[in-house]
Amino acid sequence: MASGVPDLMASMARDFFQALYTRDGCVVPDYLVSMIEGRVSREMNKQLCRKFTNEEIGDALYQIGPLKAVRNIAPLGYSL
C-alpha cells in the first residue's frame, strides 16, 4: 500500500461516522416523538422499573441451570 493510504482511510472513516452521528438541525425531535404511539402504560412502566426481588433473582439463576450459571453462587445466598 502506498504511504499515507491508511491515514487517508482512517480520516475518511472518522469523517463518515462523525457526520452520521452529528445532530441534524433540521430535525425536530419533539415532532417525531409525538408521532410514536405509546405501548407501555404507567402501571406497566412502574412494574418494569421496580427492583428485582431476591426470589426473582434466585428463580432466574435456577432456570439457567448448572451448565451456564456461575458454579459458586453461595456468596449470593443461593444454591442450586
pLDDT at 20: 92
Domain residue extents for the chain: 5-76
Q: Which residues contact 78 (CB under 8 A, 6 or more apart)?
A: 57, 58, 61, 62
Helix (H, G, I), strand (E, B) or coil at 18: helix
Distance CA 28, CA 15 (A): 24
Neighbours of 14 (CB within 10 A): 10
What pTM value is reported for the model?
0.36
User: pLDDT (tens digit, 0 to 9) for every residue of the chain, 80 residues total?
Assistant: 566 888 999 999 999 999 999 988 888 888 888 999 989 999 999 999 999 999 999 898 888 877 665 555 556 565 55
Q: Which residues contact 77 (CB under 8 A, 6 or more apart)?
A: 54
